[in-house]
Amino acid sequence: MFVRLKFRQLRKMAAPRPEFRHALWTRLTREMETMPNVLQSRRMTGRILRVLRYAAVPVVVLVLAMGTGAYAYVNPEITYEHPLYQVKHAVEQVEGAFVLTPRARARFETKMMARRVLELETIVSRGKSDGRASDEIARAHEQAISAAAEVKSEAVRDAVIARIEENADRHVKVLEAIEARAPEEAEKTLEQVIERQEQVLERRLEHVDALREEQVARQLERIEKLEALRDQAFAAKEAREEAIENEEIEAGEGDPPPLSSPFPKGGGSEGGGSVTRESPGLSPDSPSRPLPDSVPAAHE
C-alpha cells in the first residue's frame, strides 16, 4: 500500500481544470496590460539570447576538433570538479542534439545516467561525497524515464527501464556506502537525494500510463529505502550530539565555575549548556497567528 501514491492521486483529483488555468492566465495578462508597472512582452532579449546560443555551437565544435573533448568524453575520471568537465558536458550535449528517434533518445539518456553514476562512484572512491553528483544522476534519471515512456515498443521500453533501474540501484548502493562510512556527513546528502528522487517519482507518475505499476512502485521503494538510511544517519547525529551534551554536563559538574562568572560554561543561553538542539516537536507560530491584511509585506 503506497500512501504517497494515494496522496499523489488526491492531489491530482484536486488539480485545476485546464479551462480555468487558461481563463485565469488570460485575465491576468489583461490586468498586466492595464497596470503601469507591467508592459506587453518584448522579444528583443529573447532574440539576443537565441543568437548567443547558436554562437556557442561553433565553439563546441572547435573544442571537439582539438581532441580535448574526445579525451574528456571517454574518461570517467573527469568528474564535475575537473576543469574539463564542462567540455565533457558540451560534447555530450552535441551528441544529444543528433539523437532523433524516441528509441535512440531513451538509450542516450540511459547512457548519460550510467555515466553520472560512474562519476559518483569515482568521487566516492576518492573519499569525497556531496549532493551535486546525485543531483546530476537524478536529472539524468528523470530524462531517461521521460524518454523511455516515449518508446512505442514495449520490449525495448522494458529493456531501457531495466537499465535505468540497474543504475538507480547502483546509485543507492553508493549512498549506502557513504552512509556507512560517515553517517553524519551523509545525512545532508541523503536529504538532497531524497528531495530529487521525489521529483523522479513525480516524473514516473506523470508517465504512469506508459509505465507498468511495478515500474512506478520501484521508485517508491527506493525512496523508502533512502528515507530509512537518512533516519539512520539522523539517529547517529542525535546520539553524537547527546554524547557531547552529556560530556559537557559532566565536565561542568567536575570543574567549579570561574570566580568572575556565577554561571556555568555556555551561560547566557537558556538551560546553561552550550549545545542546544530544537526538538522535532512542532509548534509553528505563523499558521496560528491571524493576519489582518490580505497581502503580506516582503520583509515579513
Partner 1 sequence: MICVRSARHMEHRKFADFYKAYLDKIYRYVFFRVGCKRETAEDITSDIFIKALANFESYDPTRGAGWIFTIARNTVINFWRDKYGREIAIEEIEDKEMFSSNGIRALEAFDDKRQLMEALSVLPKEKRELVTKKYIDGYSYADLAEMYKKEAGALKVAAHRALKEVKARLKHTADRI
Residues near partner 1 (CB under 8 A): 1, 3-4, 6-7, 9-11, 13-17, 20-21, 24-25, 27-28, 31-32, 35, 37-42, 44-45, 187-188, 191, 194-195, 227, 230-231, 234, 278, 280-288, 290-291, 293-298, 300
Closer CB to partner 1, 31 or 169, in the complex: 31
What's at 163, amino acid-wise?
R
d(CA 106, CA 152): 11
The residue among 51 and 282 lying less far from partner 1, judged by its C-beta, is 282
Q: Please, what is the minimum distance in Å from the beta carbon of residue 204 to partner 1?
A: 17
Q: What's the rounded Cα separation, in Å, for the pair 204 and 222? A: 13
Residue 3 C-beta: closest distance to partner 1, Å: 5
* DSSP one-letter code for 259: T
Q: How far is the CB of 234 from partner 1 (least distance, A)?
A: 5
Smallest gap from Cβ 248 to partner 1, in A, equals: 21
Residue 106 contacts residue 148 (beta carbons within 8 Å): yes
d(CA 79, CA 123): 7
Contact between residue 141 and residue 164 where contact means Cβ atoms under 8 Å apart = yes
- Is the CB of residue 115 less than 8 Å from the CB of residue 163? no
Q: Closest separation between CB of residue 227 and partner 1, Å?
A: 5
CB-wise, 55 or 298, nearer to partner 1?
A: 298
State which residue, 79 or 197, has the beta carbon closest to partner 1. Answer: 197
CA distance 126 to 134: 16
Least Cα distance to 219 among 130, 149, 145 occurs for 145
Specify the length of the chain in residues: 300
Amino acid at 157: R
Q: First vs last Cα of the chain: how many Å apart?
A: 41
Please report how close the Cβ of residue 49 comes to partner 1 at its closest, in angstroms. Answer: 11
Report helix, strand or coil for 214. Answer: helix
> Of 43 and 262, which has the nearer Cβ to partner 1?
43
* Nearer CB in complex with partner 1: 237/265: 237
Helix, strand, coil % in the chain, rounded to nearest 5: 70, 0, 30
Cell of 209: 500510463
d(CA 220, CA 197): 9
Minimum CB separation from partner 1 for residue 38, in Å? 6
Which of 37, 260 has the CB closer to partner 1?
37
